[in-house]
Structure 1
Amino acid sequence: MSEAEILALTYYDKMSVYRPFKDILPTGESIFKKGLDGKKVYENVACALSSYSGGKNSRNDVNVRVESDYKLFYSPDIVIEKNDTIECMHEGSRYILTAGKQYTLPSHAELPVSEHKETA
């Protein structure tokens, strides 16, 4: 059993990855699809979501914006690009995350991700 396979046994979360792309409507108009409307490139991939910030608040007169930074760990065979959108299920909760730059090692891949929430 390889080191990557051993580490994969500790991945209890699942993620799906969506990549932004440009599409052309029947009218000939081109549109850019991103977020969960992007192209699904991976589905139900085993991963581990780890939090390294408790969330940072920034306020204005109308709402509070909470930004939380996390790190995702997963198989080195998976390639996630910067600004991909990740839907991660962690301990029964759904997280919508934006990808940073992937760091790949022989045993695993690490990806800094951010979650942005607007609250009224």
Structure 2
Amino acid sequence: MESIFYKPILNLPEADIPIKGVHAYLSQGNNHQIIFMEFSEDVDLPEHSHASQIGIVLEGQIDLVIGGIKSTYRKGDRYFIPEGVQHSGKIYAGYADITFFNEKNRYFTK
């Protein structure tokens, strides 16, 4: 699978995300993280919560259940998950996004 991201993003440290089929690159701030993610396989996300999260869909499709409400997001869509709200979902192969996490230690580098 050829990456949709350009070299400056591919040169970022890889994020250590324990999900099969994900390639993720980490931009680390003092109090947040921005993750550039691509998925080569379908992934089921179990219900969980954490600090707030904002996603911008670049390619593909993701189904999210946020606070009990199911929505589908595709290329060009964006989503917001408030802090502490339970969420789960399904990510489909070919999905790519940019995700902002409002916490500095959500993920670490490989």
Q: TM class, shorter-chain normalised? A: 0.3 to 0.5
TM-score, normalised by the number of residues in structure 1:
0.35
Higher Rg: 1
TM-score computed with the length of structure 2 as normaliser: 0.37
Structure with the bigger percentage of strand: 1
